[in-house]
Structure 1
Amino acid sequence: MKIGDHHRVLFRTAILTLTSIAWMASALGRPNVIVIMSDDQGVGDYGFMGNGVIKTPELDALVQHSALMNRFYVSPVCAPTRASLMTGRYNYRTRCIDTYVGRAMMDPAEVTIAELLRDAGYQTGIYGKWHLGDSYPLRPMDQGFQDCLVHRGGGIGQPSDPIGAEGKYTDPTLLKNGVETPMKGYCTDIYFDAAMSFIESAVAEQNSFFAYIATNAPHGPFHDVPDELYKEYLTADLSEIFVKDLPAKRVPAEVDKLARIAAMITNIDENVGRLLRKLDDLKIRDNTILIYLNDNGPNTLRYVGDMRGMKTHVDDGGVRSPLVFHWPTAIAVPIVRDELCAHIDLLPTLMDACDVDLPSDLQIDGRSFLPLLMDEEANWPKRQVVIQAHRGDVPQQYHHFSLHEDPWKLVHPSGFGKETFPGSPKLELYNLREDPRQQHDVSDEFPDVKARLQKAYEAWFADVSSTRPNNYAPPRIVIGTDHEPTTVLTRQDWRHTKGRAWAADSNGFWLLESMKPGTYDVELVFTDAQNSGQATIRAGDHAEKLIIQQGKRRGHKIRMALPGGKFSFSVDVVFGATNQGPHQVIIQRFSTP
């Protein structure tokens, strides 16, 4: 019997305790870890989840040799999921409460999976989407990742794109360890190539590694997708994954969009296959944990299995993801578990598997689900998981939340796009085991259950809202440090004040901090060549004027003194009768007293 076969038998026939995990880590070496998370791929966008149209053959095959967490919850939108996944904590504890205008930034004091594994001797790398802050001290390279190849903001094609590379999924300009770097190829392929190079280097140096591959696909925009796959999907019957009938005139556009999304999904799947073959070539697959999940519901109203909902919804179709857990050393046959688990559980699960102790003062909300994968009879005490996310600066009690306690779901789907909801909450109660599509509100039949869960939600909201003083104050960007002498301020991280958040005539301000006063070169950047105008640049109580020359996107520069400490920074630009903000601002340290 080979040593790998012996340990498979051991793991499948004995109750796995923390002691046996530690023994395995000592005997075989700690496992490597790869986490792959796609962006806006829904819970039903997989062959193994019943989708007969979108092709995911590599993942379908992987599930046959993996554990599948079949009742795994995420947040309804991007950044909150990422904050919870990285920290094992509800995102409301982390100051990350929305997806843009400064509310997708995670407090730098948060402890991430990458920091814990780095401190335990792992090499760490991230490839793709971070979406928890673009400037020091909020970048992934400030939060434990030693090798970083990422895009800014919440996706390519947003105001945080590097100038001159806007919206480019093919040949994008990415941030390589903080430096804007032009790349060749399709973005998803680039991320997997970079991750595989990182893995090869770690193996050559005989180091354990943690690679986080977070694709921005199949998030929009949809103009740039793998062409051959797109053409193939245009010939498929994509109406099979519509969840409602559409007027005939809308069908061609919907089919085209779904063909583009499906092409991006199958491209991710092909890259998973490439990665697995690389692990086989390097002879490290047996003791490498590979996890695959998506960050929220699908970005269109399409097939989500026996559920309802999509991205931004707190119904199950908007907050469920399959989680595939592949670890050949420990899991030899397919396992399907239906216990209630969530994004907050990933950190403690990985620390268990890697035999890494959590700091004694670290408060987490998740629990390790590793025992569920190793022992069919493992005890899993009843628990509650709360998911809440909506627009706005401060979370509002009852607004757009769901509380889960198997089999119950208490939900108030008041709408992600709203900052507040009018009137009293109209709470709904569902038995998901009997009614997974949430068709029958059973509040009147089980008033005691509804009242108990409502009280539990209120206690949860009070708890997560009091994690730290001034709990929901946005984090600040720190300028002028050796970590980042040049800071790019974008509309992703500004605090919005007028107009639609990213519209040309909108404006906002940035919350900055500097360790001491200094002189900086400030450059204003616009989306296109402008008419002449005048900008007023304010840093705290100090203001400077700058003439904007006609016909220039860039090159509008001024050298000015910026204060030390905490201050707000804003730019008001007057073009004729309009007053707006810049597209981006580049601040470069010149000198400090």
Structure 2
Amino acid sequence: MSRWIAYLFLLGVGGSLLPACQPAAPERPPNVLIILTDDQGWGDLSHSGNPHLSTPAIDGLAREGVSFDRFYVSPVCSPTRAEMLTGRYHLRGGVRGTSAGEERLDLDETTFVELFQQAGYATGAFGKWHNGMQHPYHPNSRGFDTFYGFCSGHWGDYFSPPLEENGIPVQGQGYLPDDLTEKAMNFIDAHREAPFLVYLPLNTPHSPMQVPDSWWERFENEPLDSLVAGEDPDFTRAALAMCENIDWNVGRLLEKLENLGLTEHTLVVFFTDNGPNSYRWNGGMKGRKGSTDEGGVRSPFFMQRKGHIPEGKVIRQIAGAIDLFPTLLDLAGLTHSGEKRLDGKSLKPLIMEETPSWADRMLFSHWNGNSSLRTQRYRLDKDGNLYDMESDPGQQLPVQDRYPEVAKNLRASLADWEAEMADERKKDPETRPFTLGAAEAPLTQLPARDGMGHGTIQRSNRFPNDSFFTHWVSLEDSITWEVEVLEAGDYLVEVYYTCPMEDVGSEIRLQAGENHLDTRVEEAHNPPLKGMENDRIDRMESYVKDFKPMLMGSIALKQGIQTFSLKALRIPGNQVMDVQKLLVKPIETN
């Protein structure tokens, strides 16, 4: 064979030693990992300049990816989560509170997770959901194949607490952020061969301020200079310790991706849900969690995908949580053709292009009747004061007298937006009962958070999330839940309770529409309150107990809206019992 013929064979001409020019294999769709922390302010990172802590793993995301210098979320948690999931302002999706059902995301809203799921992604969420507990508000009904964590706004114990996995009550293992991260890593491991979307909404540094000794000891006696007005040094120390634990868990996630060879295949996103949950170092910005000022809504935002996204790029244009929906779809090559208009826009041009065409825009913040507006240069606060954020990032000197036309125009824009949101709220039903018996639900939980106590019954805490009902001492007392039964049928009911030995014997009735179910408290269960043994400072939230399920029996439920009512028929002791929740499970029929 001549050298020329041999060369042709090597090229694949006339032979099969090498394949002829083959079409390139399609690029693997990127995995997505979203890390969202709870009540961690912009200033709670060493990347932001905080001198009191070290967050090398999170800082590395900014150093080896892109960071948005001015990224905005809502002043509190459930609105931010709704805006991230839908690309729309939270009031459009019916999210107008953080408990008692007001945190639920309307069922006609589409989440980006559903679109990734439809595109073949394995989807998992591990942590705090806070956009609805009962199906079809539950994360398993909003696009997630797997959910492990809790659906409430906050949790009362961070050490092996009761959680749920795909709607079934389970017991957590160890310190909660570590446990959630471990479950996320296991999910990544199990789905490493196919595209996955992992959402890790960690519960820290939200109070109660609980953190293991190994993290607390570094800060317990740490001197803090430059305290801000109103700062509680011990609260700050606990928050910083919790943030360093977060960074350690982020490092574990990144190491897992590296060990599996998935670093270049995975888009990693990190941000927080609102400003800091206490007065502490936050770059001199005005406001904290709950405020619509800069310090209440500015969040770090980092995005990394090695080999695909520029490294070390700092983006100065303003952006926000509403932009996540279109940005993630754009970067993954997916499309959205829904009927509802998005408020957010894809950030891909800012991320990928050197000189993108990008017009100035307005971002709106709202909470508790207060609204503010942010442009690239200005912030208009809830009182109509105008601030030049380039020369005055701490909002110290109003400039509406210097720029009256700017102030006039922005006030008009904010008024228009508020009017539009008021129209959106008019679409909300007057009452939104809690759903029960959805076809996809293995069971339905009706926690005390979603119920109402009547008569002498009290909540264990003024914050409904993770509270329980106590002081049930009268035959006139009742606990009610407004419920919409989605599918008629026979259901088993359990009540999670505590009751001291001397009060055993109360007879209670669950009334549901026209039907009722009677039972008797036969067994004492009187564990102590707990949580304080792990608190680093006194908490605002309810302490917790180990509640025990008691089977009440079965009841036939009709389809439709009705009131669930727990009342006592007989009280032989001083009280009936404390109640954490009802658990309602359909009876399977052949």
**TM bracket (short chain):** 0.7 to 0.9
Contact 1:58 1:270 survives alignment (8 Å):
yes
Instruction: Decide whether aligned partners of structure 1 residues 567 and 53 sit closer, same or farther in structure 2, where only a CA change above 3 A counts.
Output: same
- 2:585 maps to which residue? 588
- 1:356: Cα distance to partner? 0.4
Q: Which moved more, 1:178-187 or 1:366-375?
A: 178-187
- 1:525 maps to which residue? 496
Q: Deviations over 1:344-381 (max 9, x none)?
A: 00010000100101024242110011111112311221
SS at match of 1:190: helix
Contact 1:103 1:474 survives alignment (8 Å):
no
For residues 25 and 162 of structure 2, the distance between their equivalents in structure 1, rounded to whole angstroms, comes to 42
**Structure 1 segments unaligned to the other structure (5+ residues):** 1-24, 158-166, 247-253, 391-398, 413-425
Q: Give yes or no for the alignment of 1:310 onto 2:284.
A: no
SS at match of 2:191: helix
**Structure 2 segments unaligned to the other structure (5+ residues):** 1-23, 473-477, 526-547
- 1:435 maps to which residue? 392
- 1:238 maps to which residue? 224
Q: Give yes or no for the alignment of 1:342 onto 2:339.
A: no
- 1:295: Cα distance to partner? 0.6
SS at match of 2:263: coil
Residues 114-513 of structure 1 aligned to structure 2 (within 5 Å): 114-157=113-156, 167=157, 169-203=158-192, 206-222=193-209, 224-240=210-226, 242-244=227-229, 254-390=232-368, 399-412=369-382, 426-467=383-424, 470-471=427-428, 473=430, 475-494=432-451, 500=462, 501=464, 502=467, 504=470, 509-513=480-484
Instruction: Decide whether aligned partners of structure 1 residues 133 and 488 sit closer, same or farther in structure 2, where only a CA change above 3 A counts.
Output: same
- 1:490: Cα distance to partner? 0.7
Q: Give yes or no for the alignment of 1:97 onto 2:96.
A: yes
- 1:433: Cα distance to partner? 1.5
Q: Which amino acid aligns with 1:437?
A: G
SS at match of 1:458: helix
Instruction: Decide whether aligned partners of structure 1 residues 374 and 517 sit closer, same or farther in structure 2, where only a CA change above 3 A counts.
Output: closer
Q: 2:512 aligns with which of 539, 547, 550?
A: 539
- 1:427: Cα distance to partner? 2.8
Contact 1:495 1:510 survives alignment (8 Å):
yes
- 1:394 maps to which residue? none
Instruction: Decide whether aligned partners of structure 1 residues 436 and 184 sit closer, same or farther in structure 2, where only a CA change above 3 A counts.
Output: same
For residues 440 and 572 of structure 1, the distance between their equivalents in structure 2, rounded to whole angstroms, comes to 58
Instruction: Decide whether aligned partners of structure 1 residues 410 and 280 sit closer, same or farther in structure 2, where only a CA change above 3 A counts.
Output: same
For residues 528 and 381 of structure 1, the distance between their equivalents in structure 2, rounded to whole angstroms, comes to 63
- 1:68 maps to which residue? 67
Contact 1:292 1:323 survives alignment (8 Å):
yes
- 1:482: Cα distance to partner? 4.3
Q: Which amino acid aligns with 1:186?
A: Y
For residues 225 and 509 of structure 2, the distance between their equivalents in structure 1, rounded to whole angstroms, comes to 53
Q: Deviations over 1:480-536 (max 9, x none)?
A: 344224311013333677864447459764332223433333333335548465655
- 1:108: Cα distance to partner? 2.5
- 1:439: Cα distance to partner? 1.1
For residues 412 and 574 of structure 2, the distance between their equivalents in structure 1, rounded to whole angstroms, comes to 53
Q: Which amino acid aligns with 1:563?
A: K
Q: Which amino acid aligns with 2:495?
A: L
Question: What is the aligned-residue identity percentage?
Answer: 32
For residues 438 and 497 of structure 1, the distance between their equivalents in structure 2, rounded to whole angstroms, comes to 45
Q: Deviations over 1:84-143 (max 9, x none)?
A: 111111111111211111111112222112101111121111111111111211111111
SS at match of 1:238: coil
Taking only aligned residues, the RMSD between alpha carbons, in angstroms, comes to 2.9
Q: Which amino acid aligns with 2:168?
A: V
Instruction: Decide whether aligned partners of structure 1 residues 497 and 324 sit closer, same or farther in structure 2, where only a CA change above 3 A counts.
Output: farther
Q: Which moved more, 1:529-538 or 1:231-240?
A: 529-538
Q: Deviations over 1:37-70 (max 9, x none)?
A: 1111111000010101022011223321111111
Higher Cα Rg, which structure: 2
- 1:220: Cα distance to partner? 1.3
SS at match of 2:494: strand
Q: Deviations over 1:447-477 (max 9, x none)?
A: 4333322222232233234448732556543
Q: Which moved more, 1:431-440 or 1:81-90?
A: 431-440
For residues 245 and 477 of structure 1, the distance between their equivalents in structure 2, rounded to whole angstroms, comes to 39
For residues 335 and 207 of structure 2, the distance between their equivalents in structure 1, rounded to whole angstroms, comes to 39
Contact 1:126 1:147 survives alignment (8 Å):
yes
TM-score, structure 1 as length reference: 0.82
Q: Which amino acid aligns with 1:370?
A: K
- 1:564 maps to which residue? 559
Contact 1:518 1:591 survives alignment (8 Å):
no
Q: Which moved more, 1:484-493 or 1:469-478?
A: 469-478
For residues 36 and 211 of structure 1, the distance between their equivalents in structure 2, rounded to whole angstroms, comes to 8
Q: Which amino acid aligns with 2:188?
A: I
Contact 1:133 1:139 survives alignment (8 Å):
yes
SS at match of 1:381: coil
Instruction: Decide whether aligned partners of structure 1 residues 340 and 332 sit closer, same or farther in structure 2, where only a CA change above 3 A counts.
Output: closer
TM-score, structure 2 as length reference: 0.82
For residues 213 and 227 of structure 1, the distance between their equivalents in structure 2, rounded to whole angstroms, comes to 24
Instruction: Decide whether aligned partners of structure 1 residues 192 and 116 sit closer, same or farther in structure 2, where only a CA change above 3 A counts.
Output: same
For residues 219 and 291 of structure 1, the distance between their equivalents in structure 2, rounded to whole angstroms, comes to 20
Q: Which amino acid aligns with 1:525?
A: Y
